[in-house]
Amino acid sequence: MIEALWTGLQLVFEWPSIGFLMLGAVLGIWIGAVPGLGGIIGLVLLLPFTFGMEPVPALALLLGLWTVTTTSDTIASVMLGIPGTAASQATILDGYPLAQQGQAARAFGAAFTVSAFGGVFGAMILAFSLPIIAPLILSFRSPELFMLGMLGLTMVGTLSGSSVLKGLVAAMLGLMLGFIGMAETIAEPRYTFQALYLLDELPIIPVVLGLFALPELLELAVRNVSISRIPKDQSDGGGIMDGVRDAFRYWWLALRCSFLGTYIGMLPGLGASIVDWVAYGHAVQSTKDNPRFGRGDIRGVIAPEAANNAIKGGALVPTVAFGIPGSLGTAILLGALVVQGLRPGPSMLTDNLHITFSLVWMIVVANVVVAILLLFLAKQVAKIAFVPGHLIVPGVIMFVFMGSWLGGSSMGDWITCLSMGIIGFVMKRGGWPRPPLILALILGNILENTFQISMRVGQGWGWLSRPIVLVILALIVLTLVFAVSGIVKRRQQQAKLTEQSHEDADDEGGEGSEKNPLISLPFSVLLGVMFVWAGIEAQPWHEEVKQFPVTIAFPAALLTLAIIYHDARALHAERINAGSWDDVFRQSAEQAVLGRSLQFFGYLIALILISLVIGQKLALALFIGIYLWRWGKYSARLSISYAIGGWFFIVAFYDRIMNLLFHRSLLQSWVYPSLPDWLPAYFF
C-alpha cells in the first residue's frame, strides 16, 4: 500500500500530468467563480479533449477542474450573495453579510484556508477508507437516504430565518416545484399547465440564479450602493490574514465539518446537496458564545466551506470502489475512467491501486495550490465590494441570464429566471428564507423515489424501525427543538436590546429576517391557495404519482394558515401604530423600495422581449448600455464601451468556446440572409 501511495504521487508530478492538473485547476477557478457554470459544465467541456490522452494526464485535467470549483465558487457567494454552485448555498448566509460589512477579504481568507484543509482531509480519508468503507455505504438504502434528505431539509428550514414555520413552508414549496414535470414511476405529467417546457421539470440553474441573484442585484440598483455598506476607510479587521487566523482559531470546527463532509459525501445521490447545510447546522447548534449567524459570523463561512471541499474525496469512494456515482459530476468522472480503460471496482483497489492513489494526490495538490493562489488574489477580488453598484449590476445580469440559458437553451429558462427573481424579491422583503426552497427543489425527486421504494420494500411503515432511520429521526427532532429554543432566545435578547439601545436592536439582519407583513400576507395567502389547489389537482392521478404531492400539499396548507394568522396580526399592529391604512401602505412601499424595484423588473422584462426581436447577444449589450446611461447616469462613452465589451464576451465565450445554441430572433430571420459573406452571422 505504501508503495502504491508513493507511485501515485510520482505519477502526478510527472510531465505532462502536473501541467494538465494545473491547467484544470486554473480553468476551475474561472468556471467555479462564474454564476451558472460550475464543475459539471467544466467537466462536460473538457471531457472530449481527454479522448486519446494517457489515463493519468486525462484524469489530472478533469480532477483539477472539478476539485477546485467548490473553492472558487466562494467568490460569487461572498461578493454577490449568489450560490456559485449547489455546494455553496449555506456560505451566502454569513459570507454576503461580511462583504456588506466591508470584510469580504476576511471571509475569503477563512474560506480558502479551510477549503484547502477540507480538500486535503477528504483526500486522506479517501485513501484510508477505500478498503474498509463498504459496510457503511451499503448500510444506507432507500429508507436511510430518505431520512437523511429530510434531515437536510429540516436543517435548512430551521436555520435560515427567524420563523421556523416560514422556513418549513418554503421547503414544502420547493418540494411542490420539484414535482413539476413527468412523474418518474409512471409517465404522467404533473402541474405542467400543458406547457412542453415544463414536461422536463424546472431546470435548477435558472431557479437558483433568479431566486438569489436578481433580488441582490436589485438591491444594488435601487438603493445606489456598493456591495459593502461601509466605506473602505472605515472597514476594520477585515483583512485576508484576519480570515486565516479565524480558520486556525476555529480549527476544531473545521475538522468536524471536514469529517461530516467526507462521510456524507460518500452517500450516493445526497451528499453534495445537503452537506453544507448539515455542517452549517452543526456550527449553529454547537456554538454558545454570542453567535451572529446570518449576520456575518465567520463560523458560518468556515463550516460549509470545510465540508463542501471535503466532499470531493468522499464522493470518489463509491465511484471508484463500486462504480456508483453519487452525483452528476462523479458520473462524468466515472465515464472518464471507463473511456481510459479503467474499470471501477475491485481492480481499482488491487491492480490499479497506484492509479487510485494518484487521484488522491491530484485532489491534495489542486486544493493546496488553488487555495494559495486565491489567497494572493483575494485582496484584489475583495475590492469589488467597494465598486459602485451600478457598475456591477449590468455585467452580473449578463452572467445571470447566460448562466440561466445553460439550463436548457430555451427562452423558458429566461422566463423562469425572471419569475423566480420576482418570487425571490417578495420572499426577501416578506421575511421568507429562500435557501429551503432551493434545497427542497434539488431533493424533491430523490425524496419521492426513496420514499416510495421504502414503502414498497417495507410493506408500509415498517422501515421506520430500522436503527439508522431511528437515529436520523432523533436528529431531526433535536434539530427542531434546538431551532425553536434558539429563536426564542434570540427574541428575548432582541427585546433586551430594544430596551437598552434601539440602534443595536436593528442589527438583526440575515436571511429571512425582514419584517414587512403587507408583502408577506398576500404571498402567504397565495401559497395557501396554491397548496390546496395542488392537493385537489392531484386527486385524479395514479396512486403512486399523487402520493407524495398530496402528502406535502395539505399539511403545507395548514402550516401556511398559521403564517397567515401571524401576518394578519402583525399587519393589524402596524395599522394601529401607523394610524391609517394609507400610512401603512406608504411605509411598506418605502421599506421595500417598491417603485424603483418595479422599474428594475420592467427593464428585465424589456430585455426578454427585445431579445425575441434582435437576438440575445445584441439585447444584452443594449441592456448594459441603456442601464448605465439611463439608470446609472454614466457617460455615453463609458456605457457604449461597457456594452461592446459585454457583447464581445458573449460572442467569444458563450458562442465560440461553449458553442451554445441561441434563440432564433426575428432579426435573424429577416436580416441574416442579406448579410455579406465576410460578416460572420454569429456576431449577432
Contact predicate 432/166, CB 8 Å: yes
Centroid of chain to Cα 501: 36
CA distance 528 to 630: 40
What does the pLDDT read at residue 228? 80
CA distance 639 to 618: 14
What does the pLDDT read at residue 501? 45
Question: Radius of gyration over alpha carbons of the chain, in Å?
Answer: 25
Q: Which string of b and e fits 84-108 if b means at least 16 CB within 10 Å?
A: bbbbbbbbbbbbbbbbbbbbbbbbb
Give the sign of the dihedral formed by CA 327, CA 261, CA 110, CA 19.
negative
- 311: its cell numbers: 466532499
3-state class (DSSP) for residue 190: strand
What does the pLDDT read at residue 498? 45
Contact predicate 247/301, CB 8 Å: no
Contact predicate 471/199, CB 8 Å: no
Show the CA angle centred on residue 243, arms to residues 237 and 244, nearest 5°: 130
Sort residue 511 into left (φ over 0), alpha (ψ -120 to 50) or beta: beta
CA distance 181 to 271: 24
The 10s digit of each residue's pLDDT in 225-276 is 888 877 766 556 568 888 899 999 999 999 998 888 887 777 665 666 678 8
Sort residue 186 into left (φ over 0), alpha (ψ -120 to 50) or beta: beta
| Selection from 384, 450, 362, 536 nearest residue 144 by Cα | 450
Contact predicate 623/603, CB 8 Å: yes
What does the pLDDT read at residue 497? 47
What does the pLDDT read at residue 334? 78
State phi, psi for 594 to the nearest 5 degrees.
-65, -40
Predicted model pTM: 0.84
In Å, how far are 302, 321, 396 from 363, measured between CA atoms?
20, 17, 30
DSSP code for 511 = T
In Å, how far are 298, 301, 464 from 146, measured between CA atoms?
31, 27, 11
* Whether the bond into 325 is cis, omega within 30 of 0: no
What does the pLDDT read at residue 352? 75
CA distance 194 to 196: 6
Please classify residue 573 by burial: count the beta carbons closer than 10 Å to its beta carbon, then call 0-12 exposed, 13-18 middle and 19+ buried. exposed
Ranges in the chain, pLDDT < 50? 497-508
The secondary structure element, H or E, covering residue 189 is strand 189-190
| Selection from 678, 648, 650 nearest residue 663 by Cα | 650
The 10s digit of each residue's pLDDT in 277-334 is 788 888 887 777 666 777 888 898 999 888 888 877 777 777 776 666 666 677 777 7
